[in-house]
Chains A and B, each alone.
Chain A
Amino acid sequence: MNIRKLVFRNLFFYRWPYLAILTGVMVSTAVLTGALLVGDSVRGSLKRLTDLRLGATHWAMQPGDRYFRTALTNDLSRELGQPVVSLLQLAGIGVNGETGNRIQDIQVVGVDSSFGFLWNTSPVLPKEDEVILSENLASKLELGIGDPFLIRLPKAEKAPQNAPFVADETPAASLRLTVAAIADEEEMGRFSLKSNQQAPFNAFVSLDQLSSRVGLPGSANVLLVPGAENPKQSVEQLDEALALVWQMPDAGIRMTRLDDKGLYQLTSDRIFFDDLTAQAIRERLPDAQSILTYLANTLSANGEETPYSFVTAMDEGILPVPLSPGEILITDWLASDLGIRPGDSLYMTYFVMGPLRRLHERQAGFTVSAIIPLQSIPYGGIMMPDFPGLSDAGHCRDWQTGAPVKLDRIRDKDEAYWNTYKGTPKAFITLTDGMRLWNNPFGTVTAFRFKSTHQAGDSSRSSGIWHPASVDSTIMAGIHPSWYRFVFQNVREQGQLAAANSTDFGSLFLSLSFFLIASSLLLIALLFSLHARTRSTEAGVLSGLGFRKLLIIRILFSEAVLVAIPGVILGAIAGVLYNKLIFLGLNTLWQDAVRTSLLTVVVDFSSLATGAASGFILACGVLFMALKSQLRRPVSGLVKGTEEPPSHGLQRKKRVWLGSGIVFLIIALVLMLVLLANSEVPDAGLFLTAGGVIMGGGICLLNAFLIRKSEKPASGRAGFLTMILRIGSVKRRRNIAAITLLALGTFTIIITGANRKTFFGTERDRQSGTGGFLLWAEATMPLLYDLNTASGKAYFALEDETRLQDLRFLQLHRLDGNDASCLNLNQVPQPMMLGIPEQDFDALDAFRLVNALSEVDPDHPWLTLSREISPGVIPAFADQTVITWGLRKKVGDTLQYLDEAGKELRVKLMGGLDNSIFQGYILISDSLLKNRFPSISGTRIMLVDGPFAGQKEIANRLQELFVDYGLVAVPASDRLAEFNSVENTYLSVFMLLGALGVLIGTIGFGIILWRNNLERARELALYTALGFRKKFIRNMLMIEYLLILLAGMFLGIIGAVAGILPSLISPAYQMPGGFLLVILLVIWISGAVWILIPAQHVFKRDLTQILREE
């Protein structure tokens, strides 16, 4: 016999209690490991989704509304020596050609055969008139192969739609196609460049067909580079390669030869040259002359008017006549029409275009400096930029200028002028004047003119004259692709990073499983301490035989460790099952929290090992503590199995507990009264604290009460209840521990259940998360006009909609990007930005900040967004949830963006909004957004304000009216509820796992009672000897234990009710009472069962034998 043999002999002998302990260790390790594996699995699943959505793509260039030649793909491919794929990706509306059912905001992807390089599965690619749908889209619209499918999408324009004089019509292109195939997740069905686990609705069509139908033949707006050939390639190398092969048309610059004498003109597809490009052209071609041509509404003098004339601002040299600021040079046609001479005054009115195409008419006065013959203007007909809808019009009456044209003002002579001279300017001013008057975010030059030599091969500048062949390379060397957002991003790395840094479900489920882990650990402690208790005599005997205490502990602890080892191994395996159970819940019941059903279990060995090791350490720690506590008694006491002599100073302890209890209760009550009296919106956190303090105070008072009961009674005879209480007071500490456990469990479950986010009745409050708005609307195609203006209403034919007359629309510009809301599990570095009309929000005092920097004016927080903090740094708000969880940032941190011109833009988070409908967005001032991203045309997001009566009907009517724009309008409260559903799902999980924890806690409670019975065997034997009937003794025990259960639950409920008092007294609050009641009932029943079992088994032991032994 040696120690090892003794340990194994003990293990075998006490196999049943150890099996129970092993089960406890297994449960706690399983929960721990399972929670860690959830984290791995979510990360693993998101990484897998990244692979599914990107295929072989590593790098992508997405310049947004900048289009390039598809031929650029071949040039770049040659330069890189590897395949490059180009796409035309647009948002559209998908319609089932047979049923008419439609789905908004689908992703229409124009692809060619090169797209197949990205997928290992060699997917079927669409031919002309064919479409390949993603599984989810086909399923949603109930489409199968061979079915007709209709796509509606906006006709794309190279010119920004909100640039001056760009046609305001948004002609929709539509494609009628036949479903050729349905792409599943493994093929290309999930293709998306956005880091989001939610599957996009994809429709793949022929690139040639799509680009032609939207009016941009041979163009694309996305470049993809697969990584298989050269995975080590950097974005810098790609950007450099692109800079070598791109050409002027890719930058939207066109060169036109004007004559055979070497005169050339540069124009921009975007009408205006942006400032950076204009500056570069001036630097590279110093002799080039700038032209800025604008449409004047009226030129008037001497009471005479000439309508709708082009006026050109220009550098000197284009015309032979000198011009000074304030002067205007007019054609003889205009002089004749107005009857003016040099020296006369001439007035010009013109439109300046604001956001949402709001037009402001301005006037400027000039002095006529000279009159020149109309024929003397060199190439006057092409001085006018190529305004879509205007320059190609056959008649003035066909003009589509994006500004109102009063047709009755157009005279026959004006029509004749247009027919003969087209857009030849009727007047000229200096470039300085033109830039001052017609300044706009898109630029102040519409053309450059320069001279070139005719000698081929001459690539150098000679006497101010350039060879056209060298101009391309000269200009391209001066401009940079990044100015046009032609920059590559390592989307695979970003996707994997976003997945790796995604919502930490491991920690989340560890927290959610906290009660379960704590309960199972407590169960282990109770089981082991019960076991150690039964072996205390053995420990005492060993001590009496001269075993050192350490050796005794070693023996018992070795047994525990040997039990814990298989416990954690089995627990780790069971953890995988627990993980699978959680995933089953997440993919079905709790899908609101993850928004995908593609989460799969990923077992990472390191997490398995970490879970097992943590479970082992925790279990061993708990077992050791339990053992130490059991062996703390003197050896003589251990041998006899008696308790320590009653501790001294009970009177003092009673006073301390009583005093503490009273103080706690007073503090809590005062705090609650002050909160209720002094604030309109009581601080929920402080109330919760008060609730907790009340519960603590109650436990202190109960402790004091039990101490008092344990004292000798003043009168000799005690009643039934008093006797029970006196009996209960003997095991005071143990009973208080049981009560505290039950109280805490009940408190937590109620608080969790009650904190489910509901806002019924508060949605009309401006300070609520809806801002008091009626509807949130999102359109697939941008709305270019202000719906609040008469012209806007007229444009969208809303004038006769009486129901909509009381509505006010807040149209918000959006910078596309990734969704940073809780609906996206990936961590998003650059979320979508939303331009906020801060003045309107300030006037409405809408929404509420929960966290803000000191610079934010608490009375007018929205006005903080108005101004740049410093050059290149703009202020922003976001939902606090987004800041904390979506971005993993805090208020005061900054986010990095590139603006439209490729310049760095830093966005500083100045404040965090309370849970709102803006979740997922970064909110900045609309004017600052437009300033940095002038090309954002129209609005896709709208907040609708108005009377709440008929809310749903209004939403439906708006959807009908804007059906071609793919508008989806939902009550703002529905949108908020969707976000809340995520948090509520987490709370449900927490409540369920918490309840499971409390249920395990009630098993522990049963063990405590079992232990009580063991220790009270002599007392119970005495009752038997005194002639008490078994039923009476059982009832006595039941009542005693039920009192403990009741006290625990009662204190928990009282504390929780106090904690959620502000919600309870709010008429708007809806507590999920039924659900809570069921959970509390289950806990009560479980507790009662665990009371009943030991009470029923109390007479299984031969109590008379105990008496005989006595």
Chain B
Amino acid sequence: MLAELQQVSKHYDHPVLKEISLTIHRGDSIAIVGPSGSGKSTLLNILGTLDRPSSGRVILNGEAVELLDDNQLAWIRNRFIGFVFQRHYLLPQLTLLENILLPVLPEKDRSVVKVAEHRASRLLGRVGLIDRMTHLPGELSVGECQRAAVVRALINKPGLLLADEPTGSLDEEHASALGRLLTELNLEEEIGMVVVTHSMELARGMKEVYRLHSGRLEKLEEA
């Protein structure tokens, strides 16, 4: 088991999530759909330790998140979780390769960095960006940037990949290509994957699809 949500609730001035439970195993691919404002991103942020639940437990890699401090959470995000956001958020001042290797930056062990550099080359080749690695994000298309963001999320070989509307800023063609890439990578890398999306096409590519409605999570179908 990679991750588990146990009775997780979150409320601001009104309840957003209500006693949600979810278990994610290696190789799982889960899509969460739902209307805007239903709390999909909040759920993903809680799962990715970017936010804390109002109640309930989050267990990542066997550890209860509420017992961890900010530094330990940062370590978990760095080593265990890969994030793909709606926008690529590549740093404009860095080349594609440097952006991809950004998660390795805090690492002091040179051998780890070397391994990551090899992996970056392989993954860039895999996503068709090997000849663009020295380019700045400003010189790339949005689709290319988003693919690079996926590579960045995978650079540390995370157990869990979390994607928040990864195709939201892409056109249809690029969106389906990215959807296919995520599905393939899920299989190749044997990682657990949770994707929040409005796109039913993307959702259908996942093994499980959940719908978040009125703060509660409902399973829709098996892929």
Contacts and interface: CB of A to CB of B under 8 A. Distances in A.
Q: How large is the interface on B (under 10, 10 to 19, 20 to 34, 35 or more residues)?
A: 20 to 34
Given A538-B89, A634-B51, A545 B102 contact: yes
A13 B13 CA distance: 40
Given A546-B103, A547-B105, A639-B89, A1 B48 contact: no
Interface string A628-643: 0000001110010000
A544 B50 contact: yes
A140 interface: no
A542 interface: yes
B192 to A, nearest CB: 17
A549 interface: yes
A548 B70 contact: yes
Interface in A1-46: 1-3, 6, 9-10, 12-14
Interface string A601-636: 000000000000000000000000000000000111
Contacts of A1: 94, 98, 101-102, 105
Chief secondary structure at chain A's binding surface:
helix
A12 B50 CA distance: 30
A546 B99 CA distance: 14
A541 B152 CA distance: 11
Contacts of B89: 537-538, 541, 639
A547 B13 contact: no
Contact of B105 (A6, A541, A634, A639): A6
A13 B92 contact: yes
Contacts of B103: 545-546
A6 to B, nearest CB: 7
Nearest to B79: A546
Given A1-B94, A538-B91, A547 B48 contact: no
Interface in A519-548: 537-538, 541-548
A547 B93 CA distance: 18
Contacts of A547: 74, 78, 105-106
Nearest to A12: B93
Contact of A544 (B41, B85, B169): B85
Contacts of B55: none
B105 A2 contact: yes
B94 A639 contact: no
Contact of B51 (A13, A549, A636): A636
Interface string B62-93: 00000000110011111101010100010111
A1 B94 CA distance: 9
B61 interface: no
Contacts of B102: 1, 542, 545
A276 to B, nearest CB: 84
A319 interface: no
A14 B78 CA distance: 26
Contact of A639 (B75, B85, B98): B85
A545 B105 CA distance: 10
Contacts of B105: 1-3, 6, 547
Contacts of B98: 1
Given A551-B106, A645-B12, A543 B93 contact: no
B38 interface: no
B106 A546 contact: yes
Given A548-B70, A549-B74, A645-B12, A9 B106 contact: no
A9 B70 contact: no
Contacts of B176: none
Interface of B: 12-13, 41-42, 45, 48, 50-51, 70-71, 74-79, 81, 83, 85, 89, 91-94, 98, 101-103, 105-106, 152, 156, 169
15 contacts: A1-B94, A1-B105, A2-B105, A541-B91, A542-B102, A544-B48, A544-B85, A545-B152, A546-B75, A546-B79, A546-B103, A548-B74, A635-B50, A639-B50, A639-B85
Closest 10 CB pairs of A and B: A546-B78, A13-B93, A546-B77, A548-B74, A541-B89, A636-B45, A635-B50, A545-B103, A636-B50, A544-B83
Given A6-B94, A648-B13, 14 more contacts: A1-B98, A1-B102, A2-B105, A3-B105, A9-B93, A9-B94, A541-B91, A543-B74, A544-B48, A548-B70, A548-B74, A634-B50, A636-B51, A1109-B169
